[in-house]
């Protein structure tokens, strides 16, 4: 990458003083949070122009990368069909079109388009669906659309027999929704002023009456969600914070009242599913890695243990079918699949043979079945959809998604490594590279990390990543604390007052990869987004000498100011993740690592920060303020860039081709960053 030909835009200073718990801080760019300020939008637009100019010489490489990425996908493709009621559903994509089309076929074999994302997106720069749920009788579609990236959706209904929209729509809807068994009554959640899903409503699809409020959660820490059990017998209302939850159930008819299964207890989470005469409860009471209990539906107060708590195995998910339970566990960072015969209690495991892999439940809408469908992939194996017969134990490959352009998984190698962190904790690393890769300390490496909310960074396949691997890069995932990669205890040891473990684990992984000749600091690129962007900012402050390039997507870097503002989305709900800065000890700890607060004069690596003007999760001003402060404190000659999506939100562009263009932009920045 060449040095900038012109100076970057300067965000004017407008000092604002913050004094909290006796600590006084001057923030020169606090005003950027006000998009009505006459300097804000012009500054973001100037940064975008500067980024375009500073990277103009990368355009040929971007086009080359984009062509490679598009060339690897089967642009016109169809998913594996799944049965739901009397229909077989599938999605298809078409060359040149950005969005999927949901289709179905009935007994006559004729295709019916249920929902065409391309038609709905026409005329909009951004398009997203919260859900697309077909009623149990197959006659009505409920779907919710957003066109600006704000994640505030509008609910609509369509008669699938006529194709006509039904009267009435509801705005302010969120992701969670469910049909009642009568195929007329629909349940959905709406948002409060801080974008928290706090109310549950029901309405009659196409009816003239106003929606009826069913439930409202007053505690600002808690979100409300709704689901219908696979058995189609019950509706489940789940109220949850980051550490606590409770579940209410009602008949799937939608006509009865919701009954609470168990009152919430602080720092106890439980989740419920249904099978036959029993409710099954996955709970972390008396076992932080969760255990499985069951109780008769008719008397859901007497619970017996089905799977005991184990310190070395995290119980992550339970899927109930008429004759079997499918239990997902995580052991030593890798997913395991256990099948339990409900009649006999006999258990068996499904084996996977690679050192680093993942799988996810696929479409499993049928309750009366002995087939469990899952998608499997690894760092070298593309997504593969299987049906697993829970009785015969046979696994049938239904589809492996094609990776075109001459890709051959035999040309790549994956490893599972372990780094030792500052306190002696062993931190796993998943790694992939071409067989021609040489461990001599001269190879470039791209290290990814997240490490928050107990979210797992799965070692799955990426077709885009091949463009780096084929240019000599290794790709690694740091399975750091704060994630759920090694279970609940792993998560809890990287949050609140233990948050710095997340950053120190990542640094340990980077140092390990250098010490073991996989790369060197002048060839190491790191990346993360959102809370992973906080990670990027924190480790850059800790060890600016350790990395050549940093990519921080929508980075949560202005942690103190955001957590002090209860009017912002997510703030109060996040106290259980980061701490409450209104408490002096919490403030001091957050203040000690918050990336924006701790930028000091130093030689910083090359940095690309991205943002979304309509992002409700990490406001656009966080990366903007961070970049402005980094530039003023950078003592070196590195390139620091900001790119803001002016019509999108947290996830960036929504179309599949536009997402590939953004990935090509990022990879070109990484590949051309100066050594």
Give domain status of residue 231, yes or no.
Answer: no
Per-residue pLDDT at 2: 42
Count of the separate structural domains present in the chain: 2
CATH for 450: 3.40.50.1820
DSSP classification of residue 138: S
For residues 394 and 441, state if they share a domain: no
- Residues facing residue 340 across a β-bridge: 325, 347
* 149: nearest Cα among 601, 509, 619: 619
Q: b/e for 355-377, b at 16 or more Cβ within 10 A?
A: bbbbbeebbbebbebbbbbbbbb
- Residues facing residue 611 across a β-bridge: 644
Give domain status of residue 323, yes or no.
Answer: yes
For residues 352 and 473, state if they share a domain: no
Q: What percent of the chain has pLDDT over 70?
A: 99
Q: Is the pLDDT of residue 468 over 60?
A: yes
Per-residue pLDDT at 254: 87
> Which of 361, 384, 402 marks a domain boundary?
402
For residues 365 and 444, state if they share a domain: no
For residues 419 and 552, state if they share a domain: yes
Per-residue pLDDT at 420: 98
Measured at the alpha carbon of residue 339, what is the angle toward residues 335 and 341, in degrees to the nearest 5? 165
Q: Quick one: average pLDDT of 599-620? A: 98
Q: What is the pLDDT of residues 498-543, one digit of tens each?
A: 999 999 999 999 999 999 999 999 999 999 999 999 999 999 999 9
For residues 444 and 496, state if they share a domain: yes
Taking the CB of residue 400, how many other CB atoms lie within 10 A of it? Answer: 15
> Which of 383, 402, 421 marks a domain boundary?
402
Q: Quick one: average pLDDT of 590-608? A: 98
- Residues facing residue 643 across a β-bridge: 610
Contacts of 108 (CB under 8 A, 6+ apart): none
Give domain status of residue 142, yes or no.
Answer: no
Q: What is the pLDDT of residues 327-344, one digit of tens each?
A: 999 998 899 999 999 999
- Alpha-carbon distance of 267 to 249, in angstroms, equals 21
Q: Quick one: average pLDDT of 427-443? A: 97
Q: Quick one: average pLDDT of 108-124? A: 97
- Alpha-carbon distance of 294 to 273, in angstroms, equals 10
Supply the mean pLDDT for the chain. 96
Q: Is the pLDDT of residue 1 over 80?
A: no
For residues 596 and 666, state if they share a domain: yes
Residues noted as catalytic: 530, 615, 650
For residues 368 and 509, state if they share a domain: no
DSSP letters spanning 317-347: EEEE-SSEEEEEEEETTEEEEEEEETTT--E
For residues 392 and 434, state if they share a domain: no
Cα-Cα-Cα-Cα torsion 610, 613, 614, 616, nearest 10 degrees, comes to 60
Taking the CB of residue 31, how many other CB atoms lie within 10 A of it? Answer: 20
- Alpha-carbon distance of 234 to 230, in angstroms, equals 9
- Alpha-carbon distance of 17 to 30, in angstroms, equals 9
For residues 391 and 445, state if they share a domain: no
Q: Tell me the three state secondary structure of residue 592.
A: helix
Residue with the two structure tokens 């990543």: 465
Q: What is the pLDDT of residues 133-176, one digit of tens each?
A: 999 999 999 999 999 999 999 999 999 999 999 998 999 999 99
* 540: nearest Cα among 563, 576, 506: 506
Q: What percent of the chain has pLDDT over 90?
A: 96
Q: b/e for 141-155, b at 16 or more Cβ within 10 A?
A: bbbbbbbbbbbbbeb
For residues 395 and 414, state if they share a domain: no
Query: Is residue 226 exposed (0-12), middle (13-18) or buried (19+ Cβ within 10 Å)?
Result: buried
Give domain status of residue 605, yes or no.
Answer: yes
Q: Quick one: average pLDDT of 99-109? A: 97
- Alpha-carbon distance of 603 to 219, in angstroms, equals 45
**Global pTM?**
0.97
Q: Is the pLDDT of residue 3 over 60?
A: no
Per-residue pLDDT at 5: 54
Per-residue pLDDT at 4: 42
For residues 447 and 398, state if they share a domain: no
Q: What is the pLDDT of residues 202-219, one digit of tens each?
A: 999 998 889 999 999 999
Per-residue pLDDT at 291: 97
> Which of 402, 422, 446 marks a domain boundary?
402
Q: Quick one: average pLDDT of 55-63? A: 98
Per-residue pLDDT at 6: 73
Helix 584-593, helix 500-515: angle, nearest 10 = 20
Give domain status of residue 286, yes or no.
Answer: no
Q: What are phi and psi of 526, to 5 degrees?
A: -125, 155
Token pair of 592, please? 């000690």
Q: Residue 380 sits in which domain range?
A: 312-402
Give domain status of residue 499, yes or no.
Answer: yes
For residues 502 and 547, state if they share a domain: yes
Q: What is the pLDDT of residues 237-280, one digit of tens each?
A: 999 999 999 999 999 998 889 999 999 999 999 999 999 999 99
Query: Is residue 220 exposed (0-12), middle (13-18) or buried (19+ Cβ within 10 Å)?
Result: middle
DSSP classification of residue 238: E
DSSP classification of residue 271: E
Give domain status of residue 300, yes or no.
Answer: no
Per-residue pLDDT at 300: 86
Give domain status of residue 549, yes or no.
Answer: yes
Token pair of 186, please? 């629909």
């Amino acid at each position: 990458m060449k040095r900038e030909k012109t100076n970057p835009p300067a965000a004017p200073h407008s000092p604002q003083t913050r004094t909290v718990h006796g600590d006084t801080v001057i923030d020169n760019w606090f005003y950027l949070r006000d998009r009505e300020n006459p300097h804000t939008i012009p500054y973001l637009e100037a940064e975008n122009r500067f980024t375009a100019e500073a990277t103009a010489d990368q355009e040929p490489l971007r086009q080359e990368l984009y062509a490679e990425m598009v060339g690897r996908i089967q642009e016109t493709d169809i998913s594996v069909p799944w049965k739901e009621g009397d229909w077989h559903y599938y999605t298809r994509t078409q060359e040149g079109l950005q969005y999927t089309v949901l289709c179905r076929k009935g007994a006559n074999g004729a295709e019916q388009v249920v929902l065409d994302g391309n038609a709905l997106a026409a005329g909009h720069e951004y398009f997203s669906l919260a859900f697309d749920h077909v009623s149990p009788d197959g006659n009505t579609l409920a779907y919710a659309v957003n066109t600006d990236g704000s994640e505030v959706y509008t609910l609509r209904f369509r008669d699938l027999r006529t194709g006509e929209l039904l009267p009435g729509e509801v705005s302010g809807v969120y992701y969670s929704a469910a049909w009642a068994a009568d195929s007329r009554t629909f349940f959905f959640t709406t948002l409060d002023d801080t974008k928290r899903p706090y109310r549950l409503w029901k309405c009659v699809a196409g009816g003239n009456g106003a929606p009826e409020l069913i439930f409202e959660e007053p505690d600002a820490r808690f979100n409300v969600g709704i689901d219908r059990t696979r058995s189609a017998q019950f509706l489940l209302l789940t109220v949850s914070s980051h550490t606590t939850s409770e579940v209410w159930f009602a008949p799937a008819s939608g006509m009865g009242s919701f009954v609470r299964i168990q009152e919430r207890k602080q720092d106890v989470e439980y989740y419920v599913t249904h099978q036959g005469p029993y409710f099954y409860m996955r709970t972390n009471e008396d076992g932080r890695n969760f255990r499985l209990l069951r109780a008769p539906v008719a008397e859901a107060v007497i619970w017996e243990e089905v799977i005991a708590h184990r310190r070395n195995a995290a119980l992550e998910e339970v899927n109930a079918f008429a004759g079997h339970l499918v239990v997902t566990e995580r052991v030593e960072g890798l997913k395991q699949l256990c099948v339990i015969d409900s009649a006999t209690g006999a258990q068996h495991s499904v084996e996977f043979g690679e050192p680093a892999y993942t799988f996810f439940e696929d479409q499993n809408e049928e309750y009366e079945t002995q087939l469990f469908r899952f998608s499997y992939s690894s760092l070298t194996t593309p997504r593969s959809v299987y049906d697993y017969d829970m009785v015969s134990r046979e696994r049938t490959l239904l589809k492996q998604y094609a990776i075109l352009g001459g890709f051959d998984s035999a040309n790549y190698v994956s490893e599972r490594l372990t780094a030792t962190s500052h306190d002696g904790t062993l931190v796993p690393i998943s790694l992939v590279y071409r067989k021609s890769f040489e461990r001599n300390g001269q190879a470039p490496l791209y290290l990814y990390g997240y490490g928050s909310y107990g979210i797992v960074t799965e070692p799955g396949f990426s077709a885009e990543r091949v463009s780096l691997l084929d240019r000599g890069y290794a790709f690694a995932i740091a399975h750091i604390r704060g994630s759920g990669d090694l279970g609940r205890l792993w998560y809890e040891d990287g949050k609140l007052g233990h948050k710095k473990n997340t950053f120190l684990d990542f640094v340990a992984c980077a140092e390990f990869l250098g010490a073991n000749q996989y790369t060197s600091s002048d060839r190491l690129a790191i990346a993360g987004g959102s809370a992973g962007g906080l990670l990027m900012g924190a480790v850059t402050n800790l060890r600016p000498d350790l990395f050549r390039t940093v990519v921080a997507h929508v980075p949560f870097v202005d942690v103190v100011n955001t957590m002090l503002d209860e009017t912002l989305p997510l703030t109060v709900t996040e106290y259980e993740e980061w701490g409450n800065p209104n408490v002096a000890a919490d403030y001091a700890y957050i203040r000690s690592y918050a990336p924006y607060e701790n930028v000091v004069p130093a030689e910083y690596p090359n940095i690309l920060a991205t943002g979304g003007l309509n992002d409700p999760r990490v406001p656009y001003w966080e990366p903007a303020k961070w970049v402005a402060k980094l530039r003023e404190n950078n003592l070196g000659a590195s390139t620091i860039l900001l790119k803001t999506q002016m019509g999108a939100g947290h996830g960036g562009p929504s179309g599949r081709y536009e997402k590939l263009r953004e990935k090509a932009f990022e990879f070109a920045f990484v590949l051309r960053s100066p050594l």
